[in-house]
Amino acid sequence: MDTKIILALFLFMTLLAHPALAVTITPEADSFVCAYSTEVNTNYGTSNLLVKYAAPTTLSQSATRKIYIRFNLSSLNLFQITQATLNLTQVSAGGDAVSGTQTFHVYGLNDLAAGENWGESSITWNNAPGNNTASGYTMNAQTTLLGTFTINGTGTMGSTVSFSNANLMNFLNNDTNDVVTLMITRETYDTNYSGYIHAFASRETGSTSPQLVLNTAPVPEINSVFYLLLALALTGIKKLAVKSYGEVI
């Protein structure tokens, strides 16, 4: 059989075997940062991920915290994301219990923004990229608000909290350098200084680490190659049949 036909068939069968890909990605770095005056330069890169927005309104006197999680998307290669979900596992962190709906914001650090490669062992409230140091729950112009999720009261320890929408999917697809940082803040304000701190397992915990769960498909350009190879393969097969057996209808 002609070498070109064999190659076309091989590539065709390879693409048939990999029409789509389900991927789970864990962070390459995560941490939280704290607004309290004696902790603005403190790093928490090896701790669980704590988030809180609480009294007093002067941030430097509050225990307000924001979460940073960075993922590397290089494993996706020639695939585009068709659905994206951020999964977080709740863990205990303490504080006085809260009730009612607690609302959290999910932000993305804009593609190619300064500080994308922040250090897990060096990030703090004062140097965190995208941080609005004057706000307990909003971020600055280097970021994009992707949406919100809610937890009822203190939530349930060990449960999975999921965030998924088209904004997250599009944000990930539009990234150009495979480096993506997601940030989580709590919008719900607690007038109690000793109020509840919501917490999620960090990457150091292993199996309960934050996860990006992605459904993917080959990018349109790859699909075009797929159909081209299919046409070449079928044409080659027909030519081989004609050579061997005469005209084939």
pLDDT tens for 147-162 read 999 999 999 999 999 9
CA–chain centroid gap for 215, Å, is: 12
Question: Residues 214, 137, 33, 127: is their CA dihedral positive or negative?
Answer: positive
Task: Give residue limits of the domains in the chain.
Answer: 22-218
Mean pLDDT of 166-186: 98
pLDDT at residue 18, as a whole number: 54
Residue ranges of E strands in 77-233: 79-91, 101-109, 143-152, 160-163, 179-186, 198-200, 211-218
**Threshold 0.85, pTM exceeds:** no
Inter-CA distances, 14 with 11, 69, 82, 186, 241, Å: 5, 34, 21, 46, 23
What would the pLDDT profile of 31-84 be if each residue is shown by its tens digit?
A: 999 999 999 999 999 999 999 999 888 899 998 999 999 999 998 877 899 999
Query: How far is Cα 173 from Cα 187, in angstroms, rounded to an integer?
Result: 27
Mean pLDDT of 23-33: 97
CATH of region 22-218: 2.60.120
pLDDT at residue 219, as a whole number: 74
pLDDT at residue 223, as a whole number: 47
pLDDT at residue 208, as a whole number: 97
What is the maximal distance between C-alpha atoms in the chain?
88
Mean pLDDT of 118-123: 98
Higher pLDDT, 207 or 2: 207
